[in-house]
Amino acid sequence: MAIIHRTTLMPTKLELLTPWLPEQPWYLGGGRKPELARAGGFRLDDPQGEVGIELMVVTDTSGAQPVSYFVPLSYRGAPLDGAEHALIGTSEHGVLGRRWVYDGVHDPVVVAQLFALLLGEAVPQAQSESNVADPSVTSAFTGEGLSVTAVPTDVTHGPGVTDLVVPAATPGVPSGHLTVRVRRALSADPQAPASARTSPDLGHVTAGWLLADGATARAPFVVVRDTAGQL
């Protein structure tokens, strides 16, 4: 279960994200410097206990309309080989020492645990409490019989989204692909699915966050789709 240390992090997560966010192709604020506030999120456990996984929501209030962003983060005690392009920065943790902070969509441990969550094999954890599950985070996957490799063959970014293409197979159809869409810019959805039966997608991870005006919102953070009917 996730252990939350009550200690310092220097620079803080928001201080790391502020210069990094405008450089991302899915950021909707142009070159404007964001003004960020924490707005929600949850955690997942690394079965090996080596990588910290936080699925964080931050709200940018620098523009005419606030925009909330979903940023999966991984925290590592050493650099991740081949992921220099995904490094957000390093920070000094008061208990664990130096931590390398990565955009989690490029970290195989994060992607694997997202799939475990979709399959009901991982329990979402509270963002700021140790050993507490977060039942408000719901997930489902309807790809019965699918065998999925949780290592993307391609990662592409567009306005407000990141798409991960992952290999998948079904009995009698040895090769195909699924697209895991990570919704970076969140939009409140009053019809957010409580289960996959209400969604046209193959799967989803749905959670809530706090809006700038203090209201709460809920929407899918991640959706899974058959890529161009290849399965």
Residues of the chain with pLDDT under 50: 190-199, 228-231
pLDDT of residue 94: 67
Q: How far is residue 107's CA from residue 52's CA, in Å, rounded to a whole number?
A: 11
pLDDT score at 28:
94
pLDDT value of position 193: 45
Dihedral sign for Cα 141, 146, 150, 153, please.
negative
d(CA 231, CA 180): 14
pLDDT for the residue 2: 58
Contact assessment for residue 55 and residue 41, using Cβ atoms and an 8 Å cutoff: yes
Contact 48, 107 (CB under 8 A): no
Look at residue 194 in the predicted model and tell me its pLDDT.
Answer: 43
- Give the pLDDT of residue 76: 95
Residue 175: predicted pLDDT: 64
Domain boundaries, the chain: 9-126, 138-226
pTM above 0.85, yes or no: yes
SS3 category, 117: helix
For 230, the 3-state DSSP assignment is coil
